[in-house]
Amino acid sequence: MSETQPLIEILPEHWIIVRDILRKHIPHYPVWAFGSRARGTAKPFSDLDLAILTDQSLSLEVSAALTEDFSESDLPYKVDLVDWATTDDSFRQIIERDKVVVQMGELDQFIQSDAGKGWV
């Protein structure tokens, strides 16, 4: 993940929390922000929507650990996680329209996987 903060509406100190949680649990997966914080239309307590680009569903253990760490963090808003592998095409189009890359992960491997077909 980039050391610089992506262009999403969160404070720098909140970005550090998000970055550290993603690095701890899913350093190899690309992650995109979408929704109001990616569009620049967020209100102070709008949630942060993150799509984790997976070609297979995240394990229950990893998903639960991410959810727990975000809910126990000092972030003043909820973080909603979306697993790309379990997301239907219509919602993927919505995510893609607003996306801001938050973490690169192993994007090349994702693009070459079945789930990432057509991303280049």
Q: Which residues contact 7 (CB under 8 A, 6 or more apart)?
A: 100
Distance CA 1, CA 88 (A): 26
Distance CA 78, CA 42 (A): 13
| Residue 24 backbone phi and psi in degrees, to 5 | -65, -45
Q: Which of 47, 69, 80, 83 is catalytic?
A: 47
Q: Which of 20, 49, 69, 88 is catalytic?
A: 49
Active site residue 108: no
Distance CA 96, CA 111 (A): 14
Active site residue 47: yes
Helices 12-25 and 60-72: crossing angle in degrees, nearest 10, is 160
- Residues noted as catalytic: 47, 49
